[in-house]
Structure 1
Amino acid sequence: MKISRRSFLGQSALGVAAASIVPRHVLGGPKFVPPSEKVNIALVGAGGQGRTNLRALFQEPDAQCIAVADPIEQFSLEAFYYKGMGGRKPVKAEVESHYAQKTPNFRCAEYEDFRAMLEKEKAIDAVLCATPDHLHAYVSIAAMRSGKHVFCEKPLTHNIWEARLVAKVAKETGVATQMGNIGHSRDGIRQTCEWIWDGAIGPVREVHAWVGAGRWNKTLTGLPTDRPPTPPGVNWDLWIGPREPVPYHPAYTPVTWRDFWAFGTGALGDFGCHDMDAACWALDLRAPTTVEAHPAGQMNDDIAPHGELCYYQFGPRNNQPPVRLTWYTGGLKPPCPEEIGELKALPDRGVLFVGDKGLMLCEGAGGPPRLLPLQKTREYKKPPATLPRSKGHHRDWLDACKGGPPASSHFEYAARLTEIVLLGVLSLRTRRKIAWDAENLAARNFPDANPIIRGHYRKGWEIAG
């Protein structure tokens, strides 16, 4: 019996039976793409970050984008670092232009609603989710339960309950996953782990991580109050998704949705999965015992602060001592250590490990480590590489889609890192020090935190646990 790839992938529930007919080494196993074939990818969220991810995938000869979904037809990104145009129509045009160089008349499907896309486009193997934070879990879970591999931007989810659920569904479905904290695939973060495990600075008891980012909407003090008309080509109700409706306003999108708790998680959620990553991996950080965050500048129940200072306390782990991690945004930084020496000042973004035997400074987002003062780096006998080096953040995910090893920021790890980040957001939003009960998914000292821990979903957008 001859089974086509399309029919095989479209019948993931029959994967075991199919594998008994066609050998696993040919098909790559249930849900996996044969090594010789292209991974058909659908983009959900055609903003600046979605477009950036697509351009990275354009460099991979065995990946092709066959569908794009976004509730907005087009919008300008000129006011942001992305530049150019976003939205489903410009991104669809860019996709078709790219692939037409080798495949004349290549066509990319276009959808307003990703749910309709998943229903109709049976050839989709994998989904790349680059929506605002409040839709990450909804999109990722729907895709995984449809048997699609998933790459989701960071943070993995908008609330802590979602992070646990996304990890659970990823394990249940067995699909290939990767979160978009691209620094996790750099050599630098692996060197940081190897040096710390080698004892370069002794047991680590403090970590400081900082980034200069702050609020996008500098002058707003809450939700916008004026009511401009909704532009043509914008399905605002669909963009809102699971949140309670608010009138359209350009202060929300593109990009600036990060400022609003209903849709984003502020600078902490935006950068925490990048710049706490090295500490999480190297020190095997899991649930903190307490988290205490303080806003820098104005904040309320609707809008994130201009910056924050956040203290995480972690208990002992596998013969490692307790560690305190301090997070800074909005221009805040730790004090400059005397050992900074010839560097003269801390960088605008970085991570500082404080050990019993010295200091290690890393660039943000997985950058390479340096011992302080720098003379120690020059004298240090560096350990051999023990962690496998990445072939590239997207490349590793594609290989996993084809039955290769899991990508290193798979959803089990990504959910753990995201939960740590979102606990800081929880402390900020509740304005309380949180004593975290990880087993019961609860704040021991503040039961009223539960609505933020678990979120609220309007009718028709609920996520089944």
Structure 2
Amino acid sequence: MNELTRRELIKTSALAAAGAVVFPHILMGGSKLAANEKVNVAFVGAGGRGKNNIQALAGENIVALCDVDDERAAEMRAEFPKAKAFKDYRVMLDQMGAEIDAVVITTPDHMHYPIAMWAIAHGKHVYCEKPLTRCIWEARELRRAAKEAGVISQMGNQGHTYAGLRLIQEWYQAGILGEVKNTYHWTNRPFWPQGYLDRGSDPVPAHLDYELWLGVAPKKSYSSRIVPFNWRGWRDYGCGSIGDMACHIMDSAYSGLGLGYPDWVETQATRFNQSTFPSAMTTQMFFKGRDGRSDITTHWFEGGPKPLGIPHVPDDFFDSDAYGSDTNNGSFIVGEDITLYTDTYSGSVRVFPDETFQEIKPSLPPKTLPRIKGGPQKEFADAIREGGMPGSNFDYAAPFTEVALLGNVSLFAGTRIEYDPVKMKVKNNRKANKFLYSLYDYDKSFLTD
């Protein structure tokens, strides 16, 4: 990509928020399918997690595979030889727009917003990996655009389709947990480098179009320390560990308890620099009680720290394999007499103490919420055929992503932030508002009242 087209990409991606003013097709909505018709799906990102998404939708019509890295895309291109190969998603949509029903986006976080906006502008349904976007303003704009366009949308946090999450919702609404005042969420991420890092510089591999990989990010030299995997630890491209995992793990509280937006957020972290995220951090978020329920504080741990001394939970929880095959990621929801434990994706629920669970088993509520058959990719394709919206559509995914990303806003602000979601504004730290719009630490345009 030459420098002129790179500037055009950045400009048009920013202007995409203007909706129909910039893209006339944005009002046409997604294409309609017959009940048994296969969805024509194009993928932006064909390696790594993209491979999983492609294989999950292999029963649909895989019509295009777009990836900036020929080496990482090679396996899927060989498995689906009829799919047309592209490097540039804009070229793909311009050339194949009439043949594509939906676009699945599996790229570094910094490209979620421009690619999704471009797809919506062409009237395509959009499935986007989590976190939905890299900053809060992008999430709100993407939600607005998808709604105005009338397209089916889905964020790829698969746990939102799992049964454990629905059990938490049903039990909480039925009063089984009593008053919940604290939830605890933890992850072993990052298992990529974060902290006080030097990016370095290396020759660009022949199989990678690095200019396209950069996309809307600042133009900086290629580094094998960052591309293709470790980009999550860098503010130019990722959202750190809370961006990577909170849209999975915290759903147990966000959806399970119906949290909404926090009143305040406070983060503590290890050392990092202006380009990176810390190697470990903890975040607290305070949510005012809703519908007469008690206030709730969520506690997030990443990079090593874990919640200890949790009521009703055995002291050896993190030192024994008796509580599941992987306790490196998960959640505790602390009720009055019991504590719920659920795994990374809220796939199953365990109650502590065991004896109390045996006592309340006869009074557990019926399963009233619909269960999802298949994962989020199937839910997305079925919604395109049958109408309706997947559970993790952008009306849900954008606010949830916003809540998770407030942890980063507090991190970079260096203080507790008090948040006004109606105005999308940090009330007590004027300078922190720039981080609602960008994680780059250079912006001055959003410092006005």
Structure 1: state its 5+ residue gaps.
Answer: 1-10, 16-28, 75-85, 97-106, 458-465
Q: Per-residue displacement from partner, 1:202-259 (whole Å, max 9, x unpaired)? A: 02111101111125126x723423x221111322121111111110011111121101
Identity %: 34
Q: Secondary structure at the match of 2:419?
A: strand
Q: Secondary structure at the match of 1:50?
A: helix
* Cα separation, 1, equivalents of 2:274 and 2:293: 37
Mapping of 1:224-243 within 5 angstroms? 224-225=199-200, 227-243=201-217
Q: Secondary structure at the match of 1:425?
A: helix
Q: Which residue of 2 is the match for residue 321 of structure 1?
A: 294
CA contact (8 A) 1:215 1:259 kept: no
From the superposition, tell whether residues 275 and 50 of structure 1 become closer, same or farther in structure 2 (CA, over 3 Å). same
Mapping of 1:235-384 within 5 angstroms? 235-295=209-269, 297-337=270-310, 339-341=312-314, 344-345=317-318, 347-379=327-359, 380-381=361-362, 382-384=364-366
Mapping of 1:392-403 within 5 angstroms? 392=374, 393-403=376-386
Q: Secondary structure at the match of 1:422?
A: helix
CA contact (8 A) 1:45 1:129 kept: yes
**1:277 Cα deviation from its structure 2 partner:** 0.6
* Cα separation, 1, equivalents of 2:107 and 2:392: 19
Q: Secondary structure at the match of 1:209?
A: strand
Q: 1:185 aligns with which of 161, 165, 169?
A: 161
Structure 2: state its 5+ residue gaps.
Answer: 1-23, 441-449
Give the number of equivalent residue pairs: 406
Mapping of 1:63-462 within 5 angstroms? 63-74=60-71, 86-87=72-73, 89-96=74-81, 107-121=82-96, 122-217=98-193, 221-225=196-200, 227-295=201-269, 297-337=270-310, 339-341=312-314, 344-345=317-318, 347-379=327-359, 380-381=361-362, 382-392=364-374, 393-455=376-438
**1:344 Cα deviation from its structure 2 partner:** 4.3
Q: Per-residue displacement from partner, 1:96-131 (whole Å, max 9, x unpaired)? A: 3xxxxxxxxxx1111111000000012010000001
CA contact (8 A) 1:44 1:70 kept: yes
**1:95 Cα deviation from its structure 2 partner:** 2.2
From the superposition, tell whether residues 431 and 145 of structure 1 become closer, same or farther in structure 2 (CA, over 3 Å). same
* Cα separation, 2, equivalents of 1:443 and 1:223: 31
**1:455 Cα deviation from its structure 2 partner:** 2.2
Q: Per-residue displacement from partner, 1:372-399 (whole Å, max 9, x unpaired)? A: 1012223323211111100122111111
**1:451 Cα deviation from its structure 2 partner:** 2.8
Q: Secondary structure at the match of 1:282?
A: coil
Q: Which residue of 1 is the match for residue 16 of structure 2?
A: none
Q: Which residue of 1 is the match for residue 14 of structure 2?
A: none
CA contact (8 A) 1:128 1:151 kept: yes
Q: Per-residue displacement from partner, 1:424-445 (whole Å, max 9, x unpaired)? A: 0111122221111211212112
- TM-score of the superposed pair, with normalisation by structure 2: 0.86
Q: Per-residue displacement from partner, 1:253-276 (whole Å, max 9, x unpaired)? A: 112110101100111100000001
* Cα separation, 2, equivalents of 1:232 and 1:169: 36
For 2:64, the aligned partner's letter is: A
Q: Which residue of 2 is the match for residue 19 of structure 1?
A: none
**1:306 Cα deviation from its structure 2 partner:** 1.2
**1:13 Cα deviation from its structure 2 partner:** 7.7
* Cα separation, 1, equivalents of 2:47 and 2:264: 35
* Cα separation, 1, equivalents of 2:419 and 2:311: 35
* Cα separation, 2, equivalents of 1:164 and 1:318: 25
Q: Which residue of 2 is the match for residue 48 of structure 1?
A: 48
* Cα separation, 2, equivalents of 1:408 and 1:363: 19
Q: Which residue of 2 is the match for residue 37 of structure 1?
A: 37
* Cα separation, 1, equivalents of 2:171 and 2:84: 47
From the superposition, tell whether residues 395 and 384 of structure 1 become closer, same or farther in structure 2 (CA, over 3 Å). same
- TM-score of the superposed pair, with normalisation by structure 1: 0.83
For 1:329, the aligned partner's letter is: E
**1:14 Cα deviation from its structure 2 partner:** 9.2
Q: CA RMSD in A?
A: 2.1
* Cα separation, 1, equivalents of 2:414 and 2:77: 43
CA contact (8 A) 2:36 2:385 kept: no
* Cα separation, 2, equivalents of 1:376 and 1:416: 35
Q: Secondary structure at the match of 2:166?
A: helix
CA contact (8 A) 2:418 2:428 kept: yes
* Cα separation, 1, equivalents of 2:219 and 2:250: 33
**1:342 Cα deviation from its structure 2 partner:** 9.4
For 1:67, the aligned partner's letter is: A
From the superposition, tell whether residues 186 and 246 of structure 1 become closer, same or farther in structure 2 (CA, over 3 Å). same
